[in-house]
Amino acid sequence: MTDCVDLTHGGGGRAMADLIRDLFHKHLGNPVLDRGDDAGLVTVAGQRLVMSTDGHVIAPLFFPGGDIGALSVHGTVNDLAMMGARPLYLTAGFILEEGFPLTDLERIVWSMASAAREADVQIIGGDTKVVERGNGDGVFITTTGLGVVADGVDLSARNVQAGQSVLVSGTMGDHGVAVLSKRENLTFETEILSDSAALHGLVAEMLAAVPTLTMLRDPTRGGLSATLNEIASTAGVGITLDEAHIPVAPDVAAACELLGLDPLNTANEGKLIAICPRRDAAALLEAMQTHPLGQQAAIIGETTTDPAHMVQMTTALGGTRIVDWLAGEQLPRIC
């Protein structure tokens, strides 16, 4: 590990995974945390509960298709949903920078309220802190969520085996590109919107249609590549993908070409990866495509036996390559 935190530690790549393992797990480890799921599953007084927390820092705070307020609700709701939970309650912590306009803050809070209403969760607690000008980037929001999981539902990468099907719920990279389009010095114009959305409704349909569903994960920071590599390494399997089957919106592909980015490394905030037994894949796909948030769902590959736990892909050209996770943050490039 390096001796000071740099931006790669937050990029969703291997540097972040190493930091979590070598520092957080080392000191804070316990059987629930060590499962490495998106949320912690515990049984309290006979009730299966999941809890998760998610800090939101994003620039710009308002982006096409969303803002930090809605994102802070969706992010935590989705962490709960990936456990197969019904999200119930959230709490929210605000770190505000001195000088931040109250009208912007109200827009953000209004957006949180509307996202919470749509997701049918209540925000039942909160905290507000103000830091001096220059010590924060406008607003940071941390949300913590609580949900309940039905008996018999056990979604975890640890349950994944070789020979299962891998699906995604829609196009990859929309959120990352929508946010980048408004970054200073990169400005380009597009109609691409962030896919920021709460996924628990989709998940409920999927679980109802295919109770054998093995695992769910939302490919946020680091995109599809990072999340699939995490899954492969947790589950101890390999994964093979077919590039031609991975949905990417044409405008997202175009923006990525311009900036030298890979849509598979680009963040999503309203998409999920699902793994299920191969014989149930068609039924799962149908259930997903019937839901508004899964219309462009696709079967993109399968899990394999691979002692090296690699994610490999047949390219659209017909060759093969590895799909590696990103080293640190994805930076636009010129070469």
**Residue ranges in contact with another protein by CB under 8 A:** 2, 4-8, 13-15, 18, 185-192, 244, 250-251, 253-255, 257-260, 308, 310, 312, 314-322, 324, 327-328, 331-335
Contact 326, 12 (CB under 8 A): yes
Beta-carbon contacts of 206 under 8 Å, excluding residues fewer than 6 positions away, are: 213, 216, 274, 284, 287, 288
Cis amide leading into 60 (omega within 30): yes
Residue indicated by tokens 């839901």: 291
Q: CB-wise, 154 or 262, nearer to another protein?
A: 262
Backbone angles phi, psi at 68, to 5 degrees: -60, -25
Which residue type is seen at 121?
Answer: V
**Minimum distance between the CB of residue 15 and another protein, rounded to whole angstroms?**
5
Q: CB-wise, 5 or 148, nearer to another protein?
A: 5
Integer distance in angstroms from the first to the last C-alpha of the chain?
28
Distance CA 136, CA 283 (A): 47
CB atoms within 10 A of CB 41: 21
Q: CB-wise, 45 or 335, nearer to another protein?
A: 335
**Minimum distance between the CB of residue 88 and another protein, rounded to whole angstroms?**
38
Q: Of the candidates 297, 310, 174, which has an alpha carbon nearest to the alpha carbon of residue 241?
A: 310
Q: CB-wise, 200 or 221, nearer to another protein?
A: 221
**Minimum distance between the CB of residue 36 and another protein, rounded to whole angstroms?**
19
Q: CB-wise, 76 or 229, nearer to another protein?
A: 229
Strands 47-56 vs 40-44: parallel, antiparallel or unpaired: antiparallel
Q: Distance of CA 290 to CAs 64, 287, 296, Å?
A: 26, 5, 10
Q: CB-wise, 30 or 187, nearer to another protein?
A: 187
CB atoms within 10 A of CB 187: 9
**Minimum distance between the CB of residue 329 and another protein, rounded to whole angstroms?**
9
**Minimum distance between the CB of residue 33 and another protein, rounded to whole angstroms?**
23
**Minimum distance between the CB of residue 169 and another protein, rounded to whole angstroms?**
22
Q: Of the candidates 158, 159, 74, which has an alpha carbon nearest to the alpha carbon of residue 120?
A: 74
Q: CB-wise, 31 or 319, nearer to another protein?
A: 319
Q: CB-wise, 190 or 233, nearer to another protein?
A: 190
**Minimum distance between the CB of residue 314 and another protein, rounded to whole angstroms?**
8
DSSP state of 104: H
**Minimum distance between the CB of residue 109 and another protein, rounded to whole angstroms?**
32
Q: Locate 37 and state its tokens.
A: 């799921």
Distance CA 332, CA 304 (A): 33
